[in-house]
Amino acid sequence: METQISDDKVQRKQALRKKRHTMALATYLVPLTVALLCWHYGLAPIRAVYHFAVLVLIINLSILFVIHNNLNLKLRDPSMTVIHLSASAIPMLWVMYFLEAGHARAVFMMFLVVAALYGILELDIRRFLMVCLWILGLYGILVLLLWWRKPYTLDFSMELIQAIAFVPVMITTAMLGGFISSLRTKLRKRNTELHEAVERIEELLNIDSLTGINNRRHLFDVLTEEINRYSRGNMAFSVLLLDIDTFKKVNDTYGHLAWDKILCRIAASLSESSRVIDTFGRYGGEEFLMVLPQTPLEGAATKAEKVRQQVESLTFPDISNDLRITVSIGVAECRRDEHIDNTLLRADQAMYAAKDKGRNRVVTEVEAAAGHPAQ
């Protein structure tokens, strides 16, 4: 069960990653449009536009392929944010190389900054700086290539001004983006801790502090659910009300602490032997309640007899080798459209009928009403 939950969680994260990268692919439409305008106005050849589109598709479809086949789960960064941001700069720089007008490169430099901002979703300051330095390094290589191959497209004063602006902007983006990302990470961690704390509180509200089994509050929640299921046409359910016999005598003989151990021993034993669909809990004091879904009265009586025998067979060597504990059990089946209190009342009456007839026995509501409890 835990493995299935873990797999579902991984698949949800994978689906989110694919959605995020698909959305990122759509954002390339803006620089693609600008590249087309550059071609239209004679600032770049049409092959630069083609190359840009092909590079974008190769990069993004490759990442989506890796995520779709769960290959990214083997990486230290399953989101592949660093890889994606580092690769996304290449199509921009490729178009910048073919631009004939140096001032047009400034437009694509803005796109590089915008692409880096996606790191806010995942990257810390160190990895953010690494990506930005990679982009700055590629930009430096571009300028060197232009100086070597196409020096006529360079204007020294303009390139200097652009560099003076571009470098601090990228570094500032990395620092601020990494800081924001770290805040998001802390917030996510706090939310997780809060969620776990709420779950723990809910668990404590539903667990009996002494025995560690379901408490009265949770039992009534389950009973309400079963009543609702029954009203929708499901099979009837039954309840077993158990009361430990000779409570006062055992408590007076062995003391309160020993009695707590007895309660815990019985609770653990019956809880372990219950069906998955059954709910067992402490009803109050020395009384326990077992809810048996999809179980009519006859089947519940059979179950009750097994429970009675199981408790009778328990030993308590750390208290006394001679100590034997028994229970009296009342069995009642819920009737359609009745309030659960009425069902519990009949179970309670059956349980007291069992005590009146000598304890350590099972009595159903029918036997209690007839005045002839089972022997």
User: 221 and 161, same structural domain?
Assistant: no
Residue identified by tokens 């022997």 is 375
2-18 in b/e form (b: 16+ CB < 10 A) is eeeeeeeeeeeebeebe
Per-residue model confidence as pLDDT tens digits over 349-360: 999 999 999 999
Residue/partner pairs of 202-211 with CB below 8 Å, 24 or more apart: 208/267, 208/281, 208/282, 210/260, 210/263, 210/264, 210/282, 211/263, 211/264, 211/267, 211/268, 211/282
Q: Is residue 170 within 8 Å of residue 116, measured between CB atoms?
A: yes
Which of 101-115, 145-159, 257-271 has maximum average pLDDT? 257-271
User: 319 and 233, same structural domain?
Assistant: yes
Is residue 312 one of the residues assigned to a domain? yes
Q: What is the pLDDT of residue 1?
A: 44
User: 226 and 192, same structural domain?
Assistant: no
Q: What is the pLDDT of residue 6?
A: 60
Q: CA-CA distance, 218 to 290, in Å (whole number)?
A: 12
Look at residue 372 and tell me whether its pLDDT is greater than 60.
no
Six token digits for residue 304: 């009750």
User: 308 and 221, same structural domain?
Assistant: yes
User: 110 and 249, same structural domain?
Assistant: no
Is residue 211 one of the residues assigned to a domain? no
Look at residue 263 and tell me whether its pLDDT is greater than 60.
yes
Q: Rounded to the nearest 5 degrees, what angle is found at the Cα of 18, between the Cα atoms of 15 and 24?
A: 145
Q: Is residue 212 within 8 Å of residue 270, measured between CB atoms?
A: no
Is residue 136 one of the residues assigned to a domain? yes
Is residue 208 one of the residues assigned to a domain? no
Q: What is the pLDDT of residue 165?
A: 80
User: 136 and 13, same structural domain?
Assistant: yes
Q: What is the pLDDT of residue 222?
A: 93
* Residue 301 pLDDT grade (very low, low, confident, very high; cuts 50, 70, 90): very high
Q: CA-CA distance, 26 to 227, in Å (whole number)?
A: 52
Per-residue model confidence as pLDDT tens digits over 24-52: 788 888 889 999 999 998 888 999 999 99
Task: Return the DSSP state at 289.
Answer: E
User: 329 and 260, same structural domain?
Assistant: yes
Q: What is the pLDDT of residue 375?
A: 41
Q: What is the pLDDT of residue 88?
A: 87
Tell me which of 12 and 201 has the higher pLDDT.
Answer: 12
Is residue 168 one of the residues assigned to a domain? yes
Per-residue model confidence as pLDDT tens digits over 113-163: 887 777 776 777 888 888 888 988 998 998 899 889 888 877 777 777 877
* Residue 3 pLDDT grade (very low, low, confident, very high; cuts 50, 70, 90): low
Per-residue model confidence as pLDDT tens digits over 65-99: 988 888 888 888 888 888 888 888 899 999 999 98
Per-residue model confidence as pLDDT tens digits over 167-187: 888 788 777 777 777 777 788
User: 254 and 182, same structural domain?
Assistant: no
User: 67 and 36, same structural domain?
Assistant: yes
User: 124 and 175, same structural domain?
Assistant: yes
Is residue 342 one of the residues assigned to a domain? yes
Residues in a beta bridge with 207? 214
Tell me which of 116-120, 216-220, 242-246, 289-293 is least confident.
116-120
Tell me which of 122 and 18 has the higher pLDDT.
Answer: 18
User: 119 and 46, same structural domain?
Assistant: yes
Q: Which of the listed residues 200, 234, 265 is the one where a domain comes to its end? A: 200
User: 281 and 148, same structural domain?
Assistant: no
What average pLDDT score do residues 186-194 get? 82
